[in-house]
Amino acid sequence: MSILTLFIIIPVLTIIGILLSKSHMQVKWVAVVGMSLQLLSAIGLILLYLAERRAGNMAEVLFVQDNVWYETLNIHFYLGVDGVSVAMIGLTALVVFAGIFASWDIVDLPREFFTSLILLAAGVFGFFISLDLFTMFLFYELAVIPMYLLIGIWGSGPRHYSAMKLTLMLMGGSAFILLGIIGIYFNSAPGGGQLTFDLIKISKQNIPLDAQLFLFPFLFVGFGVLGAMFPFHTWSPDGHASAPTAVSMLHAGVLMKLGGYGCYRVAVFLLPEAAHQLGWIFLILATIGVIYGALGAVWQKDLKYINAYSSVSHCALVLFAILMFNQTAMNGAIMQMISHGIMTALFFALIGMIYGRTHTRFINEMGGLMKVMPFLGVAYVIAGLASLGLPGFSGFVAEMTIFVGAFQNADTFHRVATIIAASSIVVTAVYVLRVVGILLLGKIKNEHFETITDARWYDKMSVVALIFGITLIGMAPLWLSDMITGGLGPIMHKLLAAAPGLN
């Protein structure tokens, strides 16, 4: 039993606790206790990991646990983490923790709501810690399915449509992923021997090139759908707009990261040659996505749509960075995932709180809210500034790492892509400031808003935790960046072997 098992056990116990609890209050507190424990164990994991590394443990993955699960197909329950997954687990724990507080106001069926929410979280945790492709896929599905219920039951607006659309598109993606994974499985022992789903073992093999070329698009597009890759991003605005607050937070903050992480951990890591040959196609899509999402956000009037398009832009930057195939950009990609995860969760939390008070999400119906809700207003400004990549917040660190890394590719194609992607920081500034200006500043347009109250203790809890996250990374990024770099060794090794001449 390694410490990683905790990340599955705690959610399961929490769910049991929730199902056993008698009142609404009890349900919430059980969830809070469970997820606080989860956050603590995530912090513990980060510290343990850093300690192990400092002690000189240079194994590729740490805290390994390996049980045979289904022998016939050689499926294992195989857990282990490297620097990248540890960082993602930290992100998930933080966002889930904040998400519980952000959904404090849930009135309908709180028991079922929190159960689904934590089930989703369990899926995400499982995804990040598994090293067996099949288990990974299993957890992936576990994370996607509750989403349908969460949006369909607790959502707002055209929630059935959105939930259906989101689920169908993500399921389409998972079909691709499943195909890719099975394809990899059947190519996992090119020299003969037992077929395996074991990620580490497969990474030591060289999958034949034609198989790689066939499988790579499936895996990349499959994960890319979840990572809101252009043009498969349209579930995101509708889905986010209809989802309840905590679900938007978790979805944009964590679930979309599954896509980026999958692209990185499965598609590029296991199929490096194909990634090299086909990467340019997806690089074009990612670059379009970066600028397209940003420009798309400028015109929107619904807060959630603005943020969803902004997420499209930011997540496209993740894929963009992964496809740059060098250590710096990869590092930036992971940091961007973490940074965007916290940031967008903060955004959605705030939007939910604002919506809960004003009962509208249309920015032109609001105005001057800074005066009546200074705490939320300032938090929104902070989130906005973090989003547009202000130094001192995590976004800057991630984006700069990406751009510096991307610029190391000296050919014109990559240069142009980098400059186009970099220009999104201006557009981001435009839409962020536009929203801040209309929403928070100026005069109060509606006299009903005069009586609005500011954040309550649980709102503050959620917001403060997330702001702490973005500033911590923004002010002192070195530990995180080094931790991630430590985990990038194997993938860079494979990529270098696939195409010498990269750095």
Partner 1 sequence: MIDFSYTVWILLIPLVMFVVVGLFGNRFKPLVSGLAGTAGLFVMWILSLVTAYKYFFVLEKAADGSFQKFLAFNMRWLNLTDTLHIDMGVLLDPISIMMLIVITTVSFMVHVYSIGYMDGEKGFMRFFATLSLFSFSMLGLVVATNIFQMYIFWELVGVSSYLLIGFYYTKDSAVSASKKAFIVTRFADLGFLIGILMLSFSTGTFDFLTLTGANSPAFSSGTGIMFLGLSSMTWSMIFIFMGGAGKSAMFPLHIWLPDAMEGPTPVSALIHAATMVVAGVYLVARLFPIYIFAAPVALDVVMYVGAFSSIFAAVIACTQFDIKRVLAYSTMSQIGMMMFALGVSGYGGHEGLGYMASMFHLFTHAFFKSLLFLGAGAIIHAVHSNVMNEMGGLRKYLPITHATFLIACIAIAGIPPLSGFFSKDEILAAGHERSLMLYWVEMIVSGLTAFYMFRLYFSIFWGKETHYHHMPHEGSKWMTVPLMLLSIGAMLAGFIPFSMFVSSDRIPFHSGLEMSIAIPAVLVGLIGIAIATVFYRKETTLPDRIYNALGGFSNAAFHKFYIDEVYLFITKKIIFNYVSRPIAWFDRHIVDGSMNGMAYVTNEVSDRIKRFQSGQLQQYALVFVSGVVLLTLLFTYLMTN
User: Which residues form the interface with partner 1 (CB under 8 A)?
Assistant: 165, 168-169, 230-235, 237-238, 292, 295-296, 298-300, 326-328, 368, 370-371, 385, 388-392, 396-397, 400-401, 403-405, 407-408, 410, 418-419, 422-423, 425-426, 429-430, 433-434, 437, 440-443, 477-478, 481-482, 485, 503
Instruction: CB nearer to partner 1: give 72 or 412.
Output: 412
Smallest distance from partner 1 to CB 396, Å: 7
Indicate the residue among 356 and 437 with the shorter CB distance to partner 1: 437
Nearer to partner 1, 87 or 136 (CB): 87
- HEC assignment per residue over 259-328: HHHHHHHHHHHHCHHHHHHHHHHHHHHHHHHHHHHHHHHHHCCEHHHHHHHHHHHHHHHHHHHHCCCCHH
CB closer to partner 1, 199 vs 370: 370
> In the structure encoding, which two tokens stand for residue 484, read together?
């991630």
Amino acid of residue 248: S
Question: Are the C-beta atoms of 406 and 321 separated by less than 8 Å?
Answer: yes
For partner 1, the closer CB: 123 or 377: 377
Within a 10 A sphere around the Cβ of 465, how many other Cβ atoms? 19
Closest contact distance (angstroms) between CB of 395 and partner 1 is 11
Closest of 467, 343, 462, 466 to residue 399, by C-alpha? 343
The interaxial angle of helices 272-299 and 412-439, nearest 10 deg, is 30
Shortest distance (Å) from residue 399 CB to partner 1 = 9
The least CB distance from residue 298 to partner 1, in Å, is: 4
User: How far is it, in rounded angstroms, from Cα 186 to Cα 351?
Assistant: 46
Separation between Cα atoms, residue 366 and residue 228, nearest integer Å: 29
For residue 404, the minimal CB distance to partner 1 (Å) is 5
Q: How far is the CB of 502 from partner 1 (least distance, A)?
A: 12
Residue 85 or 481: which CB sits closer to partner 1? Answer: 481
d(CA 355, CA 81): 38
Q: How far is the CB of 16 from partner 1 (least distance, A)?
A: 38
Contacts of 339 (CB under 8 A, 6+ apart): 386, 393, 394, 395, 397, 398, 470, 473
CB of 43 to partner 1, least distance (A): 22
Shortest distance (Å) from residue 80 CB to partner 1: 25
Contact between 242 and 147 (Cβ < 8 Å): no
Nearer to partner 1, 40 or 164 (CB): 164
The pair of three-digit structure tokens given for residue 78, joined into one six-digit string: 């195989």
Q: Give the helix/strand (H/E) hosting 75.
A: strand 75-81
Q: Buried b / exposed e across 172-187, counting CB within 10 Å, b at 16+?
A: ebbebbbebbbbbbeb
- Of 385, 384, 242, give the one whose Cα is nearest residue 305: 242
With 0-12 / 13-18 / 19 or more C-beta atoms within 10 angstroms meaning exposed / middle / buried, residue 67 is exposed
Task: For residue 132, give the DSSP letter.
Answer: B
96 or 398: CB nearest partner 1? 398
DSSP label of 255: I
Q: Is 501 left (phi over 0), alpha (psi -120 to 50) or beta?
A: left
Query: CB 365 → partner 1: shortest distance, Å?
Result: 17
Cβ proximity to partner 1: between 407 and 458 the closer is 407
Nearer to partner 1, 188 or 300 (CB): 300
Q: Closest distance between partner 1 and the C-beta of residue 301, in Å?
A: 10
Looking at the Cβ atoms of 78 and 431, the one nearer to partner 1 is 431
Question: Which is nearest to 176 in space by CA: 136, 215, 135?
Answer: 215
Bridge partners for 76 per DSSP: 68
